[in-house]
Amino acid sequence: MSTTDTRAEAGGWTPRLVLSTVTMVMILEGTALGYSLVTTALPAVTTHFKTDQGGWLLTGFILSGAILCPLVGKLADIHGKRRMMIACLLVSTVGSVVSTVAPTFGVLIAGRLLQGAVLPTMFLSYSLMRDVYPRRILPLASAVTMTGTGVFSIGTPFLIGWLLDTWGFRGLFAFDVLWMAILTPLLLATTQETPLRVPARVDFLGAGMLGFGLGTVLLGISFGSTWGWGSVNTLGAFVVGLALMAGFVVRSLNFPDPLVDLRIFTRRPIVLAAVTAATAYGSTAIASSLSAMIGLTPGEARLGYGLGMTASEFAAVTAPQAVATVIMGVVVGKLLNRVGGATMMRTGLLLLGVGGLLLGFYHGDYLPVLVAALFLGAGTGLAYGSIPGLVIAGAPADKQGSIAGMVQVSYSGFASTTPVVLFVIMGQFATRTPDGTVLYPESSINAGAVFMGILIVVGLLLASTVLRGRKQDSMIDPLPDSLAEPSAATVAAGPDGRR
């Protein structure tokens, strides 16, 4: 498709633009599927591979996506946004193929790392639409794209349940292959490439230092109890990982165009946005793991919990949660200017904390689990929806896009750590059967909920004391360009990939 001027289509919608918009909706839903497929399949995967390292299924996906988002953003400025979206979709498809046929858990994690390449397509899709869609139809196209993903989030749990019950966890990854294989040529055929190009320097070395540094530290955390916390392997992982991350900090402060400009975090409003977003995304990653274990574990396992649901039946928990998330996301949009982003965020975190504690300690039957899921869904909608408002309130108008991307890297990077830490904590209570299957008793679920609660309390205390400022609680002026894409601040890795 040539990069012709969209003024040729200034008259309004055409069949090609309608199909392009549908394709964008499907791509955004694909980013959510990459996460939600695995959260539901987590018990089945860990049981099949007899591993206590299930957190890496989520961490690998989020971590690679967090590192790739700013890299891909710069490459898109140089080479074109559609071209980079195609590249991301192809890499993610390869990751889905690897995950489908993975003979070992290690190979599966490698596939998940590759699958994380789909995450940058979220912010690229909005940016590409702004560049190539006629201005007359862009507001409606953007609204349809956002609404479409919300509608799909409600139906996705039923699809995931059917796939998992019918084909097993490998069927989930195979479906992702099919999904991406259809969308990639559709994007190429229906959506023009942006003619805009911006010269930029890409800090590949910095990205490598950050990614390998954080990954190595997480490796030490996840295997510390196996290797021994004072062993050479564990201490070596910490030393190497922290050294790489320190090198990343030094390089970021001296590189002309750094992956993450750490100087922005000297601004208290931006630190508030990053800390509270990290708390929200880290907490929801914990909750989604606990929820799947509680719902899908059979009661006859006699672990003190377990509703014994099939994956299809588990949709009766996750679908209402998704509805609550969508509703509260709309509430944020209506009340943000009146109430303020920080207040909405604190309320969301509080609801997440209540939901997490209910889930962790009151899960004997369906009704209390459903109540917990509704609290979690409402808290997710409020917390996630307030993030762009916090960035807008704390960043200069001409730097909101770049600052949003840097905030996104920080909170996605943190969110990638919480699943690994969760399974380390639960592993302290776990036992193994003679055939190697890992069993998590109810005390491990309780401990996971306490971990989530502590994380939220810390985030709330910081948001309500040292990081509190008047600006975030005041009315937020609307963006000068109401058509600005939600950039990377809305791309986060979260339990459902939701904004």
Quick one: tokens of 475?
């009315």
Tokens 């965020």 belong to which residue? 345
Q: Does 490 have pLDDT greater than 60?
A: no
Phi-psi region of 95 (alpha: psi -120 to 50; beta: other; left: phi over 0): alpha
In 3D, which of 189, 85, 93 has the Cα closest to residue 128? Answer: 85
Type of residue found at 61: F
The answer to whether 442 and 303 are in contact (CB under 8 A) is yes
The answer to whether 457 and 353 are in contact (CB under 8 A) is yes
What digits encode the pLDDT tens for the residues 242-259? Answer: 999 999 999 988 888 787
| CA gap 429, 416 in Å, rounded | 22
What digits encode the pLDDT tens for the residues 285-326? Answer: 999 999 999 999 988 778 889 999 999 999 999 999 999 988
DSSP string, 386-405: HHHHHHHHHS-GGGHHHHHH
Quick one: tokens of 59?
């961490």
- Strand, coil or helix: 306: coil
Q: How far is CA 64 from the centre of its chain?
A: 11
Chain length of the chain: 499
Q: How many helices (H) and strands (E) does the chain have?
A: 16, 2
Question: What dihedral angle (degrees, nearest 10) is formed by the CA atoms of 49, 53, 59, 63?
Answer: -100
- Strand, coil or helix: 467: coil
Angle between helix axes 268-296 and 311-339 (nearest 10 degrees) is 160
What digits encode the pLDDT tens for the residues 420-438? Answer: 999 999 989 988 888 778 8
**pLDDT at res. 9:** 47
**pLDDT at res. 458:** 95
Taking the CA atoms of 250, 252, 255 and 261 in sequence, report the sign of the dihedral they define: negative
Q: Does 487 have pLDDT greater than 70?
A: no
Q: Which residues of 102-118 are buried (b: 16+ CB within 10 A; e: fewer)?
A: beebeebbbbbbbbbbb
132 vs 291, higher pLDDT = 291
| CATH fold of 6-203+255-490 | Growth Hormone; Chain: A; (1.20.1250)
Q: Is the full-model pTM beyond 0.95?
A: no
Least confident of 110-124, 382-396, 418-432: 382-396
| CA gap 70, 49 in Å, rounded | 33
Element at 431 (helix H, strand E): strand 431-432
Phi-psi region of 340 (alpha: psi -120 to 50; beta: other; left: phi over 0): left
